[in-house]
Amino acid sequence: MSPRVASGETFRFSKSGFRRAVAAAAALAVFAGASVINAAPASAHDSVLSSNPGDKQVLDEFPHHVSLKFSGNPKNNFNTVAISDADAKEVLYSHEPEVVGNEVSLDIPEEINPGPGNYIIGFQITSSDGHSTRGKTSFSVADPDAAGAAEAGAESRQTGAHAEETKSIPLWAYGLGGGLIVIIAAVVTVINRKAK
């Protein structure tokens, strides 16, 4: 009898230990899942949906108002937008922008007008999740003189092509045309004399 009781007690202990292990594993899984769920929103910083000027857009003149639309609503603190010359690597203007909903905008003073070139709109905002987010977009201002030179070059090439076509007419064609004119003039003279 004693061995059977001892064996039964050993079995009950093993089964109970297994249940405790399963319960502990389940609790650990729930805790890990909750940690992942809570961490997900923190990593989802606001990103740029669109901008004005558009990213890599080419403009005819330097803008004096820029705006950025984000995937969330940035907070109204510790926000900065800067306009930089991409070629000279120089900050032209930097200021705290206006934030309305998910749009961040900045007015650029009229006296800042660097002309043709490549420019960067850099930003640092406080995202809707409270984290600082940095990024940039870019745009260019076209050079009207370069465009005019390109058009003049195209016209010059067309004129040159026309001149080549004119030069390609053989000289005998000119001689033939002149001979026909002389013959026609002689015929007209003879007819006039007979008429008299």
- Asked if 125 and 59 sit in the same domain, the reply is yes
The whole-number pLDDT of residue 35 equals 42
The whole-number pLDDT of residue 190 equals 56
The whole-number pLDDT of residue 109 equals 98
Q: Please enumerate in sequence order all residues whose Cβ is within 8 A of that of 97, keeping only pairs 6 or more positions apart, or say none.
A: 79, 80, 81, 104, 105, 106, 123
- Asked if 62 and 128 sit in the same domain, the reply is yes
- Asked if 92 and 33 sit in the same domain, the reply is no
- Asked if 136 and 69 sit in the same domain, the reply is yes
* Contact between residue 138 and residue 119 where contact means Cβ atoms under 8 Å apart: yes
DSSP per position, 48-86: EEEEESPTTEEESS--SEEEEEESS---SSS-EEEEEET
* Contact between residue 67 and residue 105 where contact means Cβ atoms under 8 Å apart: yes
pTM above 0.95, yes or no: no
For residue 98, the tally of other CB atoms under 10 A from its CB is 14
* Contact between residue 36 and residue 61 where contact means Cβ atoms under 8 Å apart: no
Quote the CA–CA distance of 158 and 150 in Å, as a whole number. 13
Structural domain containing residue 11:
1-43
- Asked if 2 and 37 sit in the same domain, the reply is yes
Q: What is the pLDDT along the chain (196 residues), one digit of tens a residue?
A: 444 544 444 445 455 665 665 555 544 443 444 443 344 444 568 999 999 999 999 999 999 999 999 999 999 989 999 999 999 999 999 999 999 999 999 999 999 999 999 999 999 999 999 999 999 999 999 999 876 555 656 566 666 655 555 555 566 555 666 666 766 766 556 566 666 6
- Asked if 129 and 55 sit in the same domain, the reply is yes
Q: Residue 109: give its domain's CATH number.
A: 2.60.40.1220
- Asked if 59 and 120 sit in the same domain, the reply is yes
